[in-house]
Each structure stands twice: as C-alpha cells, then as structure tokens.
Amino acid sequence: MAAPSRIPRPVATSAKTDRLDCRKLADFAKKGLLKPIAIPSEEEEAFRDLTRRRNSAVDSLRKAKQRILSLLLFHGITESAGIDSWSKNAVKTLRQIKLESATRDTMGSLMREMDFLIGELRLLHKCMENHSFKVCGKERMKRLQSQDGVGFVVSTVFAAEMFRHECFQNSGQVTSYLGLAPMVRQSGEQKKHGKLPPVGQRRLRSLLIEAAWSWIGKDTSAREFYKRILGHTGLSQKAIVALARKLAVRLWYRSLGVPLAAKVA
C-alpha cells in the first residue's frame, strides 16, 4: 500500500487512462519511488474509531454548550457566574433561571442534550481505559503519561494514531506525519517557513498544543524554550506549535522506550 499524496505526478498535463496509470505505478515501484504506508490491524483500527468517537462527542458537547449560551444571549438573559468554566454551581443556577414556557422547554431540551453528552463521554472514557492497555501496551501507556503535561486522553489518542511508532526513522518523519512540521519555501538565498501542512489528525495536533501549554506550567525548561521562540518570532502561536513539536518527538521517544535528556532541546 502506498500513500496517494506521495506518488510522483507530472507537472505538465498528459493523457490519463487506467492502462497508463498502471504502467506508471509499476515503473515507480520498480524504481523505488513509491513509499509504503503502515496498515493498522483490525484491533488497532477499532481502537482508533473509539478515540475518534470520543473526539466527536467532545465537539458535540462544545456545540451544545454554545447553543445554550446563544439562547441566553438571544433573550438578553444574564449568564450565571462561573459559566465560562461550566462549574456545577453555574449549571445549577442555569437550570433555575425563570423563562417563558416555550423558551423553558427549549432550554430543557438543550440541557438534556448536554447531560446526555456528558454521560456519553464518561462511558467512552471508561471504554478507552478498558482497551488502552490491551491495544497500546501497559508499559508504553505508562511511559507516555510520565511526560509532564500529558494525561490519559493525550497519551491514548497519541498511541492510537501512532500505532506503528517503530516505523518512523527519525523525528522529522514523526512531526511531518502529525502535521507539525511547517512547510519550507526556498528560492535562492531566501528561505521561508510557511503554514503547517493540512495532514495528520487535527484533533491530535490540538491535543498536543493543549498539552504543550500544560507542559509550560510544569517544566521550567519548557517555559524557557517557549519564551526563546516567542522572542525570535513575536508570535505565541508559532512558539507553542514549536513546543508541541518538541513534545510530539519526546512522546515518540517514550513510545520507543528511548531515554530522554533532561532539557527540552
């Protein structure tokens, strides 16, 4: 199996038929120009489906909360204190707000939807706990969670998406696979680092960036690295992505069981 995005393509347009495509693929394979990709087992693919289902449930919960806030805003109702973090007291106060009959029914429907999604996330979390050690390995999961800023969700999603961690030859391949390596555009002496390529799992990149923020608060070396990149670029987005890239490499090393240096670099 080869990745379609990695198959060489001619710059100029030419005739395209099934016969010509087969001959080109055979020629590329003979010359070693086709890069094979790893195929997950049925068990690994099923576990990835479970983690992605959890991700979609998180998105649905976020949208449900946004709809509740939009309803309050539309009717000019003041939000309860602590609603930004959706604390228990804030949700309790939200349920006690006096509304018109139809609006109360609408709010009740939205609150029931939110309660269902919260309960569904708890069940999905338990299911992930039950399968993570079996699919990803107990020792590997422990090594991943020993990294500062990385908890159960980040380590589980990382292990599920990087199901063949031993197939990567270097850290550059890891960051490229995850979509954390910026695209480089060079012409002559000019060299520019562009945007991140649209590859890999967006949710995993988002989780790694969130974990990088948490890492800053727990590790002084990570904080110094972030400040150094921030001083060079002036953009917090680039600095945190650079730290997330370092974090991804460290997690890959932990997956392989390779000892890590104490510093971030």
Position of tokens 């974990």?
Answer: 211
More confident position, 39 or 12: 39
- Buried-exposed string 226-261: b where 16+ CB fall within 10 A, e elsewhere: beebbeeeeeeeebbbbbbbbbbbbbbbbbeeeeee
Confidence tier at 264 by pLDDT (50, 70, 90): very low
Q: What is residue 37's predicted lDDT score, i.e. its pLDDT?
A: 72
Whether pTM > 0.85 for this model: the answer is no
Q: What is residue 182's predicted lDDT score, i.e. its pLDDT?
A: 75
Q: What is residue 250's predicted lDDT score, i.e. its pLDDT?
A: 93
Q: What is residue 199's predicted lDDT score, i.e. its pLDDT?
A: 65
Q: Which of 42-51, 99-108, 159-168 has the lowest mean pLDDT?
A: 159-168
* % of the chain exceeding 70 in pLDDT: 90
